[in-house]
Amino acid sequence: MTAAKLRLAMAAMGQPETKVGDLCKEFGITRQTAVEAWLLLR
């Protein structure tokens, strides 16, 4: 995952209407990866 994609994903995670499963599918990452990245960068 590129830094730009990671920034987009993190911005999306900050939106209450974002569905994590849809986000993961769009970016080709696992739910675990998304949550770990969110925890590291918040």
Per-residue confidence (pLDDT) for residue 22, from 0 to 100: 92
**CA gap 13, 24 in Å, rounded:** 10
Per-residue pLDDT tens digits of the chain, which is 42 residues long: 688 887 888 788 888 898 989 989 988 989 998 888 878 877
Q: Are 10 and 41 in contact (CB under 8 A)?
A: yes
24, 18 in Cβ contact below 8 A?
A: no
User: pTM above 0.75?
Assistant: no
pLDDT computed for residue 35 by the predictor: 83
Taking alpha carbons only, the member of 23, 19, 28 closest to residue 8 is 23
- Taking only Cα atoms into account, the Rg of the chain, rounded to an integer number of angstroms, comes to 9
Structure tokens, 41: 């960068």
